[in-house]
Each structure stands twice: as structure tokens, then as C-alpha cells.
Amino acid sequence: MRIAVFDSKQYDKTAINAANVQFDHDIVFFDDRLNAKTVPLAQGFDVVCPFVNDKLDAFTINQLAQLGVKLITLRCAGFNGVDLKAAAAHGITVTRVPAYSPEAVAEHVFALLLTLVRKTHRAFNRIRDGNFTLDGLEGFNLHGRTFGIVGAGKIGLATARIARGFGCQILAYDPYPPAECDVDCEFVSQEDVFKRADIISLHSPLFPTTHHMINATTLAQMKPGVVLINTSRGGLINTLALIKSLKSGHVGGVGLDVYEHEEGVFFEDLSDSMLKDDILARLTTFPNVVITSHQGFLTTEALDNIAHSVLQSIDDFIQQRPLGNEVKASA
């Protein structure tokens, strides 16, 4: 089978080519994202491998089916960009990488959080300008704070373990809490997490039921000065409501590795052009907002795990073995 890898960067090519020594698949890399405009590039391929911001709507799925594509193997955990019902209707199998490295994303939560609460980004810029003063750089201890986890899957629990190491009290919400939990945490309602936590870290998938779970109403429920971290899906947050809460001073800090309108911006070099997204541009002006470009997954270990998982799913599909990472449309 021939495999088309879309939205590929150099780090993707390096990791996938290294892993492919074991599998010897026929792989071609495309810089383009897979969507309705670029779907003709899939001609002659049996498998497509999209990334998180590729858009496989019903039209694109239909075109893939006509081109003879049999498998969509996502190299990410999120699958909200794929019309699963359309894929099922055309007999196209969909797989994902649900747990490439929970620790990679969990550790990035604290990269964002510590930058915010200890203001190291501002200190770094001062030092480079020869300013060694400490005025305005006062932070706060994580030890003793109440840390809220929304979404207690593998990444959420990995985040909770690190938070426990900092001496935080952990509150967790998940509509389907794990049967076994090795973290000392208290499972409560989502509303309780919002009301009681000093720091809230989002780890929920993006579904219609979770879209804009952070909105004007839920932000108002949170403690004054709350710090909000999102390394999951941008659409969990209503960004306009967040900006309003930042302007009022109710939200004390925000760390974002994802953004609801990130497609066409994140992963791209726009340094020689104007940022056309006024909402994102406004976010970048707040001194208590830290934004990274969806890099929580970007560790050597995670890239290696992603590559092996994707190629193993393809191999299992070819050999007609059970697909542990298959994603199906809900009934």
C-alpha cells in the first residue's frame, strides 16, 4: 500500500522515516494539509495520514473513497476534524494515536504554568535588555494550591501526578472517571472544579457537548485570579469571553498551546506577514498570557511513539489484524 502523509514538517519526516525502517511502507510526504482543495493529491494512494488541523469533511471523505483510499490514519489523538459517519458510509477505516506520550503534553502544561506564575518570560526579556530589577515579577507558589483537572484521561492523570509532586491538592472531573486511579485526587463535578480550583488545566476532547465549555458563564464561576491552561483543543474555550475576563482582571493568567482558530496560523511561519486574526493578535498583547503553537506533543519520545503507532496501525490493517486505535462514529 502507498501512504500519503499530509501536513508534514521535517520532524515528521525524520521520525516516520526512522520508524519505517522496521515496516518498509511506501511513504510520500506532502506539506499541504488534507482538505477539500488538496484531496486530489491522494490519487494513487491507499492510505492517507492527516494531522490535527486537516479537515476531512463529508465531501473530502467522498473524494477519498472515489480515489480508492481505504484507511485514514491520524497521527494525533484528536479526531474532530474527520467526519466519521461519512467514513463509515464509504467503508473507510479511521485510526488515531490516542496516547503517544501523555507525559510530553503534561510536562508542557507546567512549562506554560511556571512561565506564567513566575513570569520567567518577562524576566528573560528584561535581562536581555540589561534590566536586572525584580519589580513586577512577583509570582506565587504552586505548593498548597488547588489544581483542577478537566478530563481525567491519560494526559489529565499524568498532569495530576506532576501537580501532586508540586504539593497541590487535586480536583478532577471526567464524565467517565477511570475505574482505577493511582493519583491522590478528589473527583468532583465540573462546576466544583471551576469554583474551587486556583489553577485549571483542560484535557477534554472536542465534541459538540464540550465546545466552548469555557465561556462567560463558566468563567464567572471561577475564582478571581484563576490561572487557566489549555493544551487540549482550542474550541474548548470561547476566546472572546476569555479576553473579556482577562480585561476585567478576573482571570489571572492563561497558558494556551491550542487556539480555536489556529488552522492556517499555528505550525506556520508568518513572521514576514501581518497576523490577520484580530482575536489572536489581541491575546498576544496581554502580559499574563503565554501562547505556544501546539507544541505540547513535540518531544523526541512522542514523535517516535506517534510514528511507530501510525505505521503499526497501517501494518495491522494490511494484515487484517484487530485495530486497537480504530475510531468509529457514535451510534
Of the candidates 34, 116, 32, the one whose C-alpha atom is nearest the C-alpha of residue 72 is: 34
Catalytic annotation present for 191: no
Q: What is the mean pLDDT of residues 120-148?
A: 97
Q: Could you tell me the end-to-end alpha-carbon distance of the chain, in angstroms, rounded to an integer? A: 30
Active-site annotation holder among 262, 263, 268, 308: 262
Catalytic residue among 75, 108, 212, 294, which?
A: 294
pLDDT of amino acid 61: 98
Name the pLDDT band for 331 (thresholds 50, 70, 90): low
Place of cell 514576514: 272
DSSP conformation class of 234: G
What share of the chain has pLDDT > 90, as a percent? 90
Average confidence (pLDDT) over 200-209? 94
Q: Which residues of 309-328 are buried (b: 16+ CB within 10 A; e: fewer)?
A: bbbbbbebbeeeeebebebe
CA distance 105 to 121: 20
Q: What is the pLDDT of residue 263?
A: 84
Can you list the domains of the chain with their CATH numbers? 2-100+299-318 (3.40.50.720), 102-291 (3.40.50.720)
CA distance 257 to 292: 5
Locate 210 and state its grid cell: 464540550
Look at residue 180 in the predicted model and tell me its pLDDT: 84
Phi first, then psi: give them for residue 160, nearest 5 degrees: -65, -40
* Residue of 331 and 8 predicted with greater confidence: 8
Taking the C-alpha atoms of residue 134 and residue 250, their distance in angstroms, rounded to an integer, is 24
Residue 230 has a pLDDT of 98
Report yes or no: 56 and 81 within 8 Å, Cβ to Cβ: yes
Q: How many CA atoms lie within 13 A of 295 on its CB side?
A: 15
Contact 328, 86 (CB under 8 A): no
Q: Which residues contact 124 (CB under 8 A, 6 or more apart)?
A: none
Per the residue annotation, which of 233, 263, 282, 308 is the catalytic one? 233
Task: Give the list of residues 6+ apart from residue 238 with CB closer than 8 angstroms, or none.
Answer: 212, 214, 215, 216, 260
For residue 307, name the pLDDT band (cuts at 50, 70, 90).
very high
User: Mean pLDDT for the chain?
Assistant: 95
Q: Which amino acid is at 120?
A: T
Least confident of 63-72, 225-234, 268-277: 268-277
Residue 233 annotated to the active site: yes
Listing DSSP states for 39-52 in one string gives GGGGTT-SEEE--T
Cell 501537580 belongs to residue: 163
Work out the average pLDDT over 192-211. 96
Who wins on pLDDT, 61 or 177? 61
Q: Is 246 exposed, middle or buried (0-12, 13-18, 19+ CB in 10 A)?
A: buried
